[in-house]
Amino acid sequence: MTVTRFLRRLVQIGLGLILLWVGAVFWLGLLYWVVPPVSTLMLGRWMTLQPVERDYVGLEEISPHLPLAVMTSEDSRFCGHNGVDWVELREVVEAADEDGPSRGASTIPMQTAKNLFLWPSRSYIRKGMEVPVALYLDLIWSKRRMMENYLNIAEWGEGIFGAEAAARHYFRKPAKNLTQREAALLATALPNPIVRNPGRPSSRHRALAGRLAARMSRQAPYTDCLKS
C-alpha cells in the first residue's frame, strides 16, 4: 500500500468515526428524552467492573433547592440561553491570556453534553465539540428535561452519580428532602466531586456553600423554565 493510499484510508476511517459519533449523538439525544441517560463515566466504570451508584428520579422527586443551587452556582442564565451562554463565553475568551482562559464558561447543557457524549479532561477540541451538542440537546429537550437529566448523571464522588444517590450517600435521605444548606454543599462540590465531600465539607467548602446559599434567593425568580 502506497503512502497516499494509506493516508486516504486513514482519512476515510476518521470521517467514518466522526459520522458514527454524530449519528450516536442524534439518536441517543432523542432516546434520552424518554429513557434515563447514561454518562460516559458510568459506562467506563461498568466496562472496568467498578461499582456505580445511581437511582434515576424525576425532577419532582428532587428538592427544588438543588436545581436552584446548581443554576446559581454554574449557569445563572440557564432559562434564557439556547444551550450556550454566548455573553459569558465572549467574556472568558476576551479575558484569556497566552496561557489560555483562566476560567470556564460551561453551561448546564454543555456539561450535560460532555457527560453524555465526550470525555472529562480539558481540551480545546472537547470544548469545541461541546458547543454543537449542547445546542442540539437544548433544541430537542425542554429546560426541565435538561435539568432532570443533568442532575441524574452528575458525578458527586467516586462512583456516585445523580442527586438521589448523592443525597442518600452523604445525608442519608432522599433527594426530595434536601435542605437549602445540603443543596448548596452538593452544588459547590460539582467542580471537584472527588475531592470535595458534601457530607464532611472542609472549612473552605462550607464557606463556598454559605455564600452560594445567600445568592440563591436572588436567583429564585429566574427558574420559571423548570415548571414546564
According to the model, what pLDDT value does residue 97 have? Answer: 44
What pLDDT shows up at residue 94?
Answer: 54
Retrieve residue 117's grid coordinates: 457524549
C-alpha cell at 194: 472527588
pLDDT digits (tens, 9 = 90+) for 191-226: 999 999 999 999 999 999 999 999 998 877 678 888
Q: How far apart are the first and last CA of the chain?
A: 58
Q: Express each pLDDT in 90-148 by its tens digit.
A: 776 555 444 444 345 789 999 999 999 988 777 777 888 899 999 999 999 999 999 99
Residue owning grid cell 454554574: 74
pLDDT in tens, 174-197: 999 999 999 999 999 999 999 999
SS3 category, 56: coil
- Cβ pair 34, 140 in contact under 8 A: no
Contacts by 191-200 with C-beta closer than 8 Å and gap 24+?
193/154, 193/155, 193/156, 193/157, 193/160, 194/157, 194/158, 197/157, 197/170, 198/156, 198/166, 198/170, 198/171, 199/169, 199/170, 199/171
What mean pLDDT do residues 31-47 have? 94
Q: Quick one: cell of 148?
A: 432532570
Q: In this structure, are residues 88 and 142 in contact, taking their beta carbons and an 8 Å threshold?
A: no
What pLDDT does residue 13 have? 79
